[in-house]
Structure 1
Amino acid sequence: MTDILFYHLTESTLENALPGLVERSLERKWRVVIQTGSEERRDSLDNHLWTWSDASFLAHATDQEPYPEEQPVILTTGNGNPNGATVRFVVDGAEPVNVEAYERLVLMFDGHDQHQLEQARTQWKSLKAQGHTLTYWQQNAEGRWEKKA
Structure 2
Amino acid sequence: MKVDFYHLTVTPLERALPQIAEKVLASGGRLLIVSESEAQRAALDRLLWTYTPESFLPHAQAGAGDDAAQPVLIAPAPEPANAARNVAIVDGVWRDAALGFDRAFHFFDEDRIVEARAAWRELGDQGAVERRYWKQNDSGRWEQAA
Distance (whole Å) between structure 2 residues aligned to residue 145 and residue 25 of structure 1? 17
What is aligned with 1:62?
61
Question: 1:22-49, CA deviations, whole angstroms, 9 ceiling, x for partnerless residues?
Answer: 1011000010000013111111111111
Task: Give the AA of the match of 2:143.
Answer: E
User: Any idea what SS the aligned residue of 1:84 has?
Assistant: coil
Root-mean-square deviation (CA, aligned residues, Å) is: 1.3
Give 1:139 deviation, angstroms.
Answer: 1.2
Give 1:10 deviation, angstroms.
Answer: 1.1
User: Any idea what SS the aligned residue of 1:58 has?
Assistant: coil
> How many residue pairs end up in the alignment?
145
What is aligned with 2:97?
98
Q: How does 1:1-149 map to 2 (within 5 A)?
A: 2-110=1-109, 113-114=110-111, 116-131=112-127, 132-149=129-146
Q: Runs of 5+ in structure 2 lacking a partner?
A: none
Identity of aligned residues (%): 37
Question: Which runs of at least 4 in structure 1 moved beyond 3 Å after TM superposition?
Answer: none
For structure 1, which segment, 131-140 or 57-66, has the greater mean C-alpha deviation from structure 2 after superposition? 131-140
TM-score by length of 2: 0.93
Give 1:138 deviation, angstroms.
Answer: 0.6
Task: Give the AA of the match of 1:142.
Answer: S
Distance (whole Å) between structure 2 residues aligned to residue 69 and residue 52 of structure 1? 24
Distance (whole Å) between structure 2 residues aligned to residue 76 and residue 94 of structure 1? 14
Distance (whole Å) between structure 2 residues aligned to residue 97 and residue 83 of structure 1? 19
C-alpha contact 1:128 1:134 (8 A) present in aligned 2: yes
For structure 1, which segment, 60-69 or 92-101, has the greater mean C-alpha deviation from structure 2 after superposition? 92-101
TM-score by length of 1: 0.91
